[in-house]
């Protein structure tokens, strides 16, 4: 009997050894079969996941972001211990014990696969998930699972648990474009990953398996279930007490981030920067390598410019009458269920918000804007010319309302009827001494039109081009006191063309006028006579000196702005006068660094001596006169050293005002994208100047707070102040003043 038992034992041993040999051979075969197809784990030594490129204003605020994956890489210590514990508890309780694989979980998953006759999943450890996210795909195949297991073991052999968990936390997708725990913390709670509370950490850990499907922004109930699951698992693993878990489970989910990317306060400026970055560094580096881009944008000035342009365009558009709004009922919408995206954000006094008309009385429009019940009294729609509300709008109309009062804890409001303008415009502001672009608004609404009218639209310059004519005259020996003739004149046309007979805006003539008065009052006829005397080709050369690169035809009509240029070009041309004739090349990017802080690009001012300093000062004095008692006299109310010039085309298709103080130059253009009249009488002084005043007023108020004295335009040493024949004190270049010996 004993001999029989021994013989059976030996046979069993041989069988087991044989079976083990088969298993080992099979495993070896599998490893050999797949090893050649697997990536090199050592590549993780230099692992650098895609991160966000951020664009910064001068005050350090983020004004734009670009990324294929919205991610901010953090270290192990920058992740809250609560979040690390929550992830381990919810995803892989044996993380600190296994070598990349969890055999019990694999066996349980296999059994489930057999019973349910499908690949149920759920056996992957944190290390396996990391391997899958970094090197593989998400197909549920045996081949992928085998490769995943092999990679997991290799990762565990090469890296510490701390390193593996850190890579995992920076890799996982959390929904809404957010990759990694830092981006997820910012997305859902508006704070860093190191600052998360217990229930917040548990929510982030809980949604890993479902990301968008279990996002609190998409499915709050599912997010709460997964959060509570993570909390319970933390208690079971001893990371927190059961009492702490119960309290956290009882707390409501309170998000504080944004489910979508935050809207940029300077979208046209940021898009211009994006195009420059992509041209210089390529799309891959821009969208994946987490560049840090310091720009020249002055954010408070940018916000002021945006407000001023939008308010000005709305004001001008109202003069063209009220346009019939879209009716949601006619479009088949359910008014009770309708939600406008704008209603998600705050709505405060001064905002213009969309609202649905719910009813009317003889003297009032009633509307709803999200949770706001809005009243629009008769005074709020008088501008439309309609006598009653019912004659103006109907129930279901989607209108825009300027909020003038918000009451009852943000539930009721009083507003003024408004509408989105068809008219367009642009604003640009430059630092005179450096050329830095301080503000750029390329249109009324970037979402409606991404065409940047500040730098892409070439429009007729109108009377702003007179600046070039008078600069050429001063540089060629004319003075502010020189006499020009404002009288009818006709110039012969060439090759069968009709004669050219310029006319003044007011259709009158004043006879002999000083050069100063001709510029201040923007007289057309004296300007054309002056260009004829100087020679059109000579004047066009000065346009190029001033930095106008757009081609200007060498015809007399160009004296009145028949040629075209961009707002940035003409604003840059004006900026050299307060800068003593030195033209600075405009630029937006100050410095670009990579994710390690290495400088990739640094830009500095690029000066060009365009005209003599004395010529620039005399022109500055003349342009000051335009503001003090010329076509831009409204700006004199700012009581600040200012100079500038209005511009209007003959048929009122383009309205301009370009003006400066000793430090900055601001340009404003208003018009339609398709060249058609803004409206009768809508000159630069009427359409563009009020917008410019609003922007410059913001700047002046800031300067008064920080400067001890009002700045001045510095005069070169060869400037002589003398009394002209009209009795006015004028600035002359030495040798050109009255009574000076002719040299």
Helix/strand number for the chain, H first, E second: 20, 26
List 80, 91, 156, 522, catalytic entry: 91
Q: Quick check: is 463 catalytic?
A: yes
Asked if 239 contacts 265 with a C-beta cutoff of 8 angstroms, the reply is no
Question: From CA 367, how far away is CA 399, in angstroms rounded?
Answer: 9
Asked if 304 contacts 694 with a C-beta cutoff of 8 angstroms, the reply is yes
DSSP per-residue letters across 587-644: B-EEEEE-TT--EEEE----EEE-S-HHHHHHHHHHHHHHHHHSTTGGGGGG-S--EE
Residue 630 phi/psi, 5-degree rounding, is -120, -150
CB-based burial label for 187 (10 Å; 0-12, 13-18, 19+): buried
b/e burial code for range 552-571 (CB count within 10 A of at least 16 → b)? bebebbbbbbbbbbbbbbbb
Residue 113 phi/psi, 5-degree rounding, is -60, -45
The token duo for 402 is 């300027």
Question: From CA 708, how far away is CA 711, in angstroms rounded?
Answer: 9
Residues 6+ apart with CB under 8 A from 258: 187, 190
Asked if 151 contacts 41 with a C-beta cutoff of 8 angstroms, the reply is yes
List 463, 575, 621, 683, catalytic entry: 463
Residue 115 phi/psi, 5-degree rounding, is -65, -40
Question: From CA 377, how far away is CA 427, in angstroms rounded?
Answer: 33
Asked if 374 contacts 368 with a C-beta cutoff of 8 angstroms, the reply is yes
Question: From CA 489, how far away is CA 501, in angstroms rounded?
Answer: 6
Question: From CA 57, how far away is CA 295, in angstroms rounded?
Answer: 5
Asked if 394 contacts 327 with a C-beta cutoff of 8 angstroms, the reply is yes
Question: From CA 83, how far away is CA 197, in angstroms rounded?
Answer: 9
Asked if 582 contacts 607 with a C-beta cutoff of 8 angstroms, the reply is yes
Helix/strand/coil for 75: coil
CB-based burial label for 719 (10 Å; 0-12, 13-18, 19+): middle
| CA-wise closest residue to 58 among 591, 435, 706, 598 | 591
Which active-site residues does the annotation give? 91, 463
């Amino acid at each position: 009997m004993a001999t029989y038992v021994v013989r059976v034992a030996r046979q069993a041993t041989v069988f087991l050894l044989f079976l083990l040999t088969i298993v080992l051979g099979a495993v070896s075969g599998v490893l050999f079969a797949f090893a050649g197809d697997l990536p090199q784990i050592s590549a993780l030594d230099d692992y650098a996941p895609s991160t966000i490129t951020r664009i910064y204003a001068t005050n350090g605020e983020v004004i734009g972001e670009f990324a294929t994956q919205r991610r901010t890489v953090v270290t192990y210590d920058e992740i809250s211990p609560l979040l690390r514990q929550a992830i381990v508890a919810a995803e892989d309780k044996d993380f600190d014990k296994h070598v990349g694989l969890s055999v019990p979980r694999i066996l349980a998953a296999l059994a489930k696969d057999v019973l349910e006759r499908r690949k149920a999943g759920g056996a992957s450890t944190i290390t396996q998930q990391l391997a899958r996210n970094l090197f593989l795909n998400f197909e549920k195949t045996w081949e992928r699972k085998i490769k995943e297991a092999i990679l997991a073991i290799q990762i565990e052999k090469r890296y510490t648990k701390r390193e593996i968990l850190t890579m995992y936390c920076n890799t996982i997708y959390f929904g809404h474009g957010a990759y990694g725990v830092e981006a997820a913390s910012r997305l859902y709670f508006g704070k860093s990953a190191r600052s998360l509370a217990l229930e917040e950490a548990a929510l982030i850990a809980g949604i890993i398996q479902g990301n968008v499907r279990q996002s609190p922004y998409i499915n709050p109930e599912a997010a709460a279930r997964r959060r509570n699951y993570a909390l319970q698992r933390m208690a079971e693993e001893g990371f927190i007490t059961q009492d702490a878990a119960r309290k956290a489970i009882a707390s409501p989910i309170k998000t504080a981030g944004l489910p979508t990317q935050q809207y940029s306060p300077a979208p046209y400026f940021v898009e211009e920067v994006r195009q420059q970055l992509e041209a210089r560094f390529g799309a891959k580096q821009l969208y994946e390598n987490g560049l840090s881009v310091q720009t020249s944008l002055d954010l408070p000035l940018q916000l002021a410019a945006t407000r001023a342009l939008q308010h000005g365009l709305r004001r001008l558009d109202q003069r063209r009458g009220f346009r019939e709004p879209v009716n949601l009922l006619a479009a088949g919408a359910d008014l009770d269920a309708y939600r406008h995206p704008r209603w998600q954000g705050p709505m405060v006094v001064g905002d213009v918000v969309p609202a649905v008309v719910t009813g009317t009385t003889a003297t009032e429009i009633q509307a709803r804007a999200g949770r706001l019940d809005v009243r629009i009294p008769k005074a709020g729609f008088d501008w439309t010319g309609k006598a009653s509300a019912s004659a103006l709008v109907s129930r279901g109309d989607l209108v825009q309302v300027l909020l003038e009062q918000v009451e009852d804890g943000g539930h009721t409001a009083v507003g003024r009827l408004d509408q989105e303008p068809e008219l367009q415009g642009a604003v640009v502001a430059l630092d005179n001494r450096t050329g830095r672009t301080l503000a750029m608004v390329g249109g009324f609404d970037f979402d409606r039109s991404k065409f940047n009218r500040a730098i892409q639209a070439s429009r007729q310059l109108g009377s702003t081009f007179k600046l070039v004519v008078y600069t050429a005259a001063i540089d060629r020996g004319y003075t502010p006191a020189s006499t020009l003739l404002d009288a009818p004149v006709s110039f012969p046309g060439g090759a069968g063309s009709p004669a050219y007979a310029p006319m003044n805006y007011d259709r009158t003539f004043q006879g002999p006028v000083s050069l100063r008065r001709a510029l201040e009052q923007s007289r057309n006829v004296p300007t054309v006579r002056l260009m004829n005397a100087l020679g059109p080709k000579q004047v066009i050369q000065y346009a190029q000196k001033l930095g106008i690169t757009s081609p200007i035809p060498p015809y007399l009509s160009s004296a009145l702005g028949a040629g075209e240029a961009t707002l940035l070009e003409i604003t840059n041309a004006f900026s050299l006068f307060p800068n003593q004739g030195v033209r600075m090349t405009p630029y937006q990017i100050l410095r670009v660094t990579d994710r390690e802080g290495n400088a990739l690009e640094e830009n500095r001012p690029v000066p060009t001596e365009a005209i003599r300093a004395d010529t620039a000062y005399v022109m500055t004095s003349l342009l000051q006169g335009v503001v003090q008692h010329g076509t831009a006299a409204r700006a004199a109310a700012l009581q600040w050293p200012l100079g500038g010039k209005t511009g209007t085309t003959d048929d009122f298709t383009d309205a301009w005002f370009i003006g400066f103080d000793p430090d900055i130059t601001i340009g404003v253009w208003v018009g339609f994208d398709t060249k058609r009249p803004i409206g009768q009488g809508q000159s630069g002084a009427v359409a563009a100047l009020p917008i410019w005043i609003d922007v410059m007023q913001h700047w002046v108020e800031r300067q008064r707070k920080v400067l001890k004295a009002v700045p001045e335009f510095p005069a070169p040493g060869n400037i002589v102040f003398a009394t002209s024949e009209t009795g006015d004190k004028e600035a002359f270049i030495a040798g050109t003043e009255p009574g000076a010996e002719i040299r």
